[in-house]
Structure 1
Amino acid sequence: RDAGFRAALARHDIPLDEELIEVGDFQYAAGRDATERLLARADPDALVCANDLIAVGALHALLAAERRVPQDVALVGMDDTELARMMFPQLSSVSL
């Protein structure tokens, strides 16, 4: 997923700031914690998460930081799970 993300950015000549990359496991807490760390050092307008569970953690961290999704920060997960549709707001998710 990381390689595909990097390849897509390169194909479209979009630079990647390595300082904006957070790596963790595929769990809710990892998404929440990574988003909190990211918000402490940056003001992102979009987050791409490696799965929907990470994205839910990111969503909760964004809402706790009073960031509106999708108005302030676009958020996307992967796997297109039922969980993505159960959230409010519903998550955008890539179907693999």
Structure 2
Amino acid sequence: MPQLAGVPTSGFELRILRRPCDGSGRIETRHIHIEASSGDQAIAQGRFLAEAILEGWSGVATLTNEAGALIWSTRKDMPPPTAPGMI
């Protein structure tokens, strides 16, 4: 397990899909690996990064743990999904 300043860390994955707020243009994706010593710390980092990356864009951000389980998500300037599994 990796360590950060002597504290064991786990790997989390932040995935962001974004597009211009007016709906024009291509959808962009970002994948960011986050090393954190807890889920709460990873969520705080993920929130900060997602807010910065989605500034001026609409989109979705998801954060998963090492096992691939969703631990946090957010939507910005997008309608709610219309069916299970939809973004």
Query: What TM-score comes out, normalization by structure 2 length?
Result: 0.33
Q: Which has the higher strand share?
A: 2
Larger Rg: 1 or 2?
2
Query: What TM-score comes out, normalization by structure 1 length?
Result: 0.31
